[in-house]
Amino acid sequence: MKKGYYILSFLVLLPTLLFAQIKFTATASSTQVGTGEQFEVDFTVQGNGDDFNPPDLSNFQVLSGPNPSQSMTSVNGVTTYTTGFSYILQAVKEGTFIIGPATINVGMRGVKSNPLKITVVKGQPVQRQQTQQAQQQNAPGSASVGNSQSIAKSLFIRAEVDKTRVYQGEQLTVNYKLYTRVAILGSGLDKAPDLNGFWNQDIMKNGQQVQWKIEDYKGERFNVATIKQTVLFPEHAGDLTIDPISLTLAVRLQQQSSGDIFDQVFGGGSFKDINYKISSPPVIIHAMPLPEAGKPADFSGAVGSFSVASNVDKKELKANETLNYNLKITGTGNLALINAPNINPPADFEKYDPKTTDNIAVNPGGVSGSREFTYLLIPRHLGDFTLSPPGFSYFNPATRRYVTLPAKSFAIKVNKGDPQANPTAYNMSSQQDIKMLGKDIRYIKTDSPDLYKDGEGFYGSASFYLLMLLGPLAFTGALLYRRWDDKQNSDIVKLKSRKANKVAAKHLANAAKQLSAGNKNEFYEAVARGLYGYLSDKLNIPIADLNKENITDQLKARALDEGTINQLSDTIDLCEMARFAPVTGISQQQVFDKAKNTINEIEDKI
């Protein structure tokens, strides 16, 4: 009896023992921070981790993350993978908070990290202040004392405008550009520009993916990214200020070099990570008032370069029918601020408020497109009429002159209509809703319904009794399948072995995706993960013992031929070497095919 109890206990604890060596740990750069202070949280697992699920971080502001990382070490032929995810957080309120466990899948099992306790105090902890003061006195790479001036020369923001002197209502573009010659680990927006005194439209918003390029500035080369683009329109004349944008950046500074030539080439040596606040300088825009000389009486504030087109949907109709008159303004400038021109149709026409349709694009060249106004008119009496809308006036800042564009006149013939008709006013946009009524209302059926005599229907037929038997048969089949499935899944080792090919297929699918995208490092990483994950499950080798020697021994014990074993070993070596040095003599597609064929051959023979 006791022997059976021990065996049962061992089987229950077997999965725990197999994964006992897998460590998934959570660490914080500091467990006591001040309000407004930033800190880093890292989650690290030993092994090939998938499907990372972070904990609830709602008590903090997430400035960056999750930032994935992978590393591989090989000692005495034993290769170990480490997967990591990091966050840069900012404390926003006082109190003691628990960052719960994160979860990740390693092999066929999910593992949890340890929780973290973070204490947030007002201001900055005294111990941190003393530590920073000591670092400022001793560390030559400190940002807040000796090195702040050098950082300011290597990391800054500029607000570039295409013009600083414009007319009221004239468009200009501002680009906020980040210049750096130091490594940036993460960023957070402290304050967006208010842009008071401007009507504005973003081209590129905060948080949008940025593109880096190299530029020369004052004789030095920088990595430059445009982090925000906005089109501005001065709302009134005078000197207007484009406010700064403020960021806090996590920066990595190299304090000293080890003197080793490899450290100098690959960035080795001593580093210090700091948080550095930067703001763009304000920019003054001189907005000139629009000239009074030559201003048309119908001018309503349009500034730019425009053209006008007009049309009617019909030139002959009956009294009390509807007529649509369209006025379309096309060009570049403050299109979104243009009001509908006031038209004066003949006295016999009823006029309704216009419908506005915009087709406006915002790009680095400014705002362009069209704004269309649709006026609905209803003639009440027969006769021949002329529809003569007023012209459209705008100010062209390029020529510094007002322009009036005449609108086209239309001859409208109104025939005698139904004197009792008084149609409800609607425009083209609402006609679709009216047409849908025919589908919403079901009409009364006037034809004879289908009738059946007793015995002619489905009840009592052969099909009826056959369906009655299907229920018990389906239940019996489900019961037999359940017993078969329980038997198949009772052996965990065999279950993992059977599903190993599916796990490998997922990694190889990711490898094919990275291959198509041209991501070399990610491609070899995915192939290696697929091979190691497949072999761990197929051969029942714990991840901690997963190395080429153990793999080779297990495959030989299963009588796998030498050629397949050598092909597998070569593919693993290629994937490991490719992550650190270029691989020559074989293409990535050939590596992918070798990995896929090797797995298929093992599946066929084991």
Domain ranges of the chain: 2-126, 148-288, 304-435, 492-605
Secondary structure class of 238 (helix, strand, coil) = strand
12 pLDDT higher than 50: no
Secondary structure class of 217 (helix, strand, coil) = strand
Percent of the chain exceeding pLDDT 90 equals: 16
Domain 304-435 has CATH 1.10.287: no
Q: CA 21: distance to chain centroid?
A: 36
341 pLDDT higher than 70: yes
Q: Can you tell me the distance from the alpha carbon of 115 to that of 249, in angstroms, rounded to the nearest whole number?
A: 27
CATH of 148-288, one of 2.60.120, 3.30.1490, 1.50.10, 2.60.40: 2.60.40
Q: Please tell me if the domain spanning 148-288 has the same topology as the one spanning 304-435.
A: yes
15 pLDDT higher than 50: no
pLDDT per position as a tens digit, 506-521: 778 888 888 888 787 7
pLDDT per position as a tens digit, 461-497: 777 777 777 777 777 777 777 776 666 555 445 555 5
Average pLDDT (150-167) is 88
CATH architecture of 492-605: Up-down Bundle (1.20)
In this structure, of 4-8, 10-14, 137-141, 481-485, the range with the lowest mean pLDDT score is 137-141
The runs of H, that is alpha helices, within 409-544 are 428-435, 437-440, 462-489, 492-517, 520-539
CATH architecture of 2-126: Sandwich (2.60)
CB 39 within 8 A of CB 185: no
Average pLDDT (372-401) is 89
CB 173 within 8 A of CB 232: yes
- The mean pLDDT value of the chain amounts to 76
pLDDT score of 554:
84
CA dist 521 → 266, 325, 400, 580 (Å): 17, 61, 57, 9
CB 269 within 8 A of CB 258: yes
Helices and strands of the chain, counted as H and E runs: 12, 31
Average pLDDT (160-186) is 90
7 pLDDT higher than 60: no
pLDDT score of 563:
83
**Token pair 């013939």: residue:** 413
- Residue 43's closest CA among 92, 89, 109, 91? 89
145 pLDDT higher than 50: no
pLDDT band with cut points at 50, 70 and 90 for residue 541: confident
**DSSP letters of 331-400?**
EEE-GGGPPPP-----TTEEE-PPEEEEEEEEETTEEEEEEEEEEEEEE-S-EEEEE----EEEEETTTT
Q: CA 77: distance to chain centroid?
A: 40
pLDDT score of 507:
73
Average pLDDT (82-108) is 83
Residues 6+ apart with CB under 8 A from 375: 324, 325, 326, 327, 343, 351, 352, 354
- Residue 233, CB half-sphere, CA atoms under 13 Å: how many? 22
pLDDT per position as a tens digit, 458-470: 666 777 777 777 7
Give first-to-last CA distance, the chain, whole Å: 37
